[in-house]
Copies of this chain bind each other. A is one copy, B any other.
């Protein structure tokens, strides 16, 4: 039985900021069964799609990257939550809910590369959509980045950029629970309020209202920054380097300010890495997937006990996916941006 399958495709490789017009809605058809000759595959109905900054890279023609480019004319792929409709894979059965990489930006996907999929132990206590965020890739990213890369100590001073984003607002809460002083930078007053009043950050500021980022950081960190959770790159990184303490750590999770530049500007002040013995380390979430079970053990009780707040920014309908995705790069989202394709 073939059914209609709405898809979001990339028209062509993108240069500079992506626009909604770089994407196209297309209707095709798909059989709702795994072909009999295809082993270890699943046919899924997609429920929630994750909009993530790293996807900007995949809109470019990549060479020698750990990521693959999107294929122009084909549907986007990424992280998502789906329901298994048919399976020839011993680990997945019809009716299972799964999350992971790589789900298509379409209603139904035949997944043959199943190595980065996780089966969801679904309960009523947490919504399935959380597996695009706090219980999925951004959650493990925040967890690995903060606990593994930042090597935090109680009482240390932590700065987070893009702090109202999917990862940033979790890192801040992890750091507060750990006993750190936490400041976040964001791009609007609304987000400043959110960090201070909802997520319990000690301080927050709107970088767009600061004439001089160095002075802003000195205001909130008179004794320096011990840990910087880096999501933006560029001028913010330059200012942070000047304000790091000796033996400070910079976890490089993203550099969203750089993604849309054709010719990125050079970064000043890198000699601070030497003079202050800073460790700066990039990391990729898939290296930490083996720790997913351990992560869930930590995070689920926090969610159930209300110790961690989580914010979703939900776009309804696949056709609104491109606007939601593009919005990440102008900072339009509050918390985790996701797209609802279907409720179940």
Contacts and interface: CB of A to CB of B under 8 A. Distances in A.
A268 B264 contact: yes
B273 A252 contact: yes
Q: Which of A238, A254, A280 has the most CB atoms of chain B within a 10 A radius of its CB?
A: A280
Interface in A265-291: 265-284, 287
Q: Interface of chain A, helix or strand or loop or mixed?
A: loop
Nearest to A67: B275
A67 B277 CA distance: 12
A269 B258 CA distance: 10
B233 A275 contact: no
B282 A281 contact: no
B268 A252 contact: no
A270 B237 CA distance: 11
Interface residues on A, range: 35 or more
Contacts of A284: 277
B275 A283 contact: no
B279 A255 contact: no
Contacts of A272: 282
A3 B287 CA distance: 66
Nearest to A261: B271
Identical chains in the assembly: 2
A196 interface: no
A271 B255 CA distance: 7
A66 B246 CA distance: 8
Contacts of A276: 66, 282
A66 B282 contact: no
Nearest to A258: B271
Contacts of A253: 274
Nearest to A237: B270
Contacts of A255: 270-271, 274
Interface of A: 57, 65-67, 233, 237-238, 246, 252-255, 258, 264-284, 287
13 contacts: A66-B246, A67-B275, A252-B274, A258-B271, A265-B266, A266-B267, A267-B268, A274-B282, A277-B282, A277-B284, A278-B282, A279-B281, A280-B281
Given A233-B271, A278-B281, A281-B281, 6 more contacts: A57-B275, A66-B275, A233-B270, A258-B271, A267-B268, A279-B279
